[in-house]
Structures are given as C-alpha cells and as structure tokens.
C-alpha cells in the first residue's frame, strides 16, 4: 500500500502496547539482572518508546493494521456457530501421492527386469 497522510494513527493503542512491553521488560531486567547495572537496561527500554511509536505511526500511514485479539475472538466465535451439517459432513478422500501408496514409484518385479 502507498503512503496516505489521511490515515489515522492509533496513538492510544500504540502507547498502551509499548507501556505493557516496557513494564514486562523492566520487570524481567530487575529480576534477572539484579546485581548488574540496571540503569543502562532501563534507559534502553525507555529509548525504545519513541522508536516504537514512530515506527508504528509510519506503518499506520502505510495502511498496516495488526489484528487485535478482540477481532480474532469474534472470528472464532462465528466459526463455532456454524451449522452442524458443515462440520459433520465427511471429508473427501485426498488425491493419491507417492507417500500414500498411489504414486506409482513401486519397484518393478524381477521378472520384468532386463538384464
């Protein structure tokens, strides 16, 4: 897709996602790197915020929209509400392949071999 300056940027969502990431990563750094210098690790997490927001804004202007869990749940809930005839219908037999024995790659019998 092409750049479109009129596309909205979901700032609230981007900020919320980054805050969740920052909280989790800060907790991981505090737990695992307790004895080392935490200042650099926390500074790196804080610096990642503007970078994440800028990259997310550019991707939004190009038209990228990541699928939300809410959307995924609504799709799966409509799939489970299908008619029972669709789910109970027998599946057709797949086409034979060399792995399923229908391929014709069987070795020839010894009486047909030429010497």
pLDDT tens for the 115 residues of the chain, in order: 788 889 999 999 999 999 999 999 999 999 988 888 888 889 999 999 999 999 999 999 999 888 878 888 888 777 665 555 556 678 888 888 777 766 566 666 666 656 5
In the block, residue with structure tokens 């019998």: 109
pTM value is 0.59
User: What is the per-residue pLDDT across 32-44, written as a single tens digit (0 to 9) for each?
Assistant: 888 888 888 899 9
- Alpha carbon dihedral 91, 92, 97, 101, in 10-degree steps, equals 90
Q: If you compute the radius of gyration of the chain from its CA atoms, what whole number of angstroms results? A: 28
Measured between alpha carbons, how far is 93 from 4 in angstroms, rounded to an integer?
48
Do 57 and 13 touch, CB atoms closer than 8 A? no
Question: Is 22 exposed, middle or buried (CB count within 10 Å of its CB: 0-12, 13-18, 19+)?
Answer: middle
């Amino acid at each position: 897709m092409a750049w479109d300056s009129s596309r909205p940027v979901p700032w609230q969502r981007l900020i919320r996602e980054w805050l969740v990431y920052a909280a989790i990563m800060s907790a991981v750094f505090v737990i695992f790197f307790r004895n080392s210098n935490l200042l650099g690790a926390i500074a790196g997490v804080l610096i990642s915020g503007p970078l994440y927001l800028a990259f997310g804004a550019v991707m939004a202007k190009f038209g990228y929209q990541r699928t939300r869990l809410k959307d995924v749940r609504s799709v799966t809930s409509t799939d489970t509400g299908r008619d029972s005839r669709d789910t109970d219908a027998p599946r057709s037999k797949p086409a034979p392949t060399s792995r399923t024995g229908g391929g014709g790659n069987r070795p020839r019998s010894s009486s047909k071999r030429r010497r």
